[in-house]
Structure 1
Amino acid sequence: MNPRPTALFAALANDLRLRCLVLLLEHQELCVCELTYAIGAAQPHVSRHLAQLREAGLVSDRREGLWVYYRVHAELPAWVRRVLEETFAGVRGQSPFSEDEQALRTMPNRPSAPRCA
């Protein structure tokens, strides 16, 4: 697992993909419905960007019933992990990242409940 630098920086250059990555770095693993709710974008749009992150080797996914969960890929090289962690540290308190975090914290019916929002 060694993402190309151009794929990493292209992923970070897109607002929605960066917002997803920041949330995943904070929460380790999130369902597509949680990311959709937090970011306020349509599910197909979020899923398309998550697929691009997966193709770039930055995230991995797993299915559990009807839900698809994403996480930052566990086998990222140290240099990629450092870039992501530094980016996270630099933006986490800024808008729209802080609003995404607040929205996620207030989301009703999170996946641990019987039905997702």
Structure 2
Amino acid sequence: MTSIMLETLLITPLALAYEYYLSLHGTSAYQTAETSTLIMLACAGVVTATPLLFFTAGAKLLPLKIIGFLQYIAPTISLLIGVFMYGEKFTSVHMVAFGWIWFGLFLFTIAQIKRR
């Protein structure tokens, strides 16, 4: 909660200044957009903050090593989507790097299992 509040306090002045600049030039979304778009813009903050708050609540219940491991899942999914859905190049160099990262995670997991 604190990190989201601090982030908001730091970014809000910049966002307001940019919005003021856009309004002076007549290109602000608040001046040109439809009502449905404005409602979606107003709800975007809640939609963005809610998963972060849930993640924070869940992360408090897990050991830090598990959270660190889980942080590799989202980039891996993004990589797979990029390669298989969007046809991004995946060279042998990428494969070696990707393989070493997951090999390291595999060794870490085995060590944790043996430790228990």
Please tell me the TM-score bracket, short chain as reference: under 0.3
Which structure's CA Rg is the greater one? 2
TM-score (norm 2): 0.25
> Greater strand percent: which structure?
1
> Greater helix percent: which structure?
2
TM-score (norm 1): 0.25
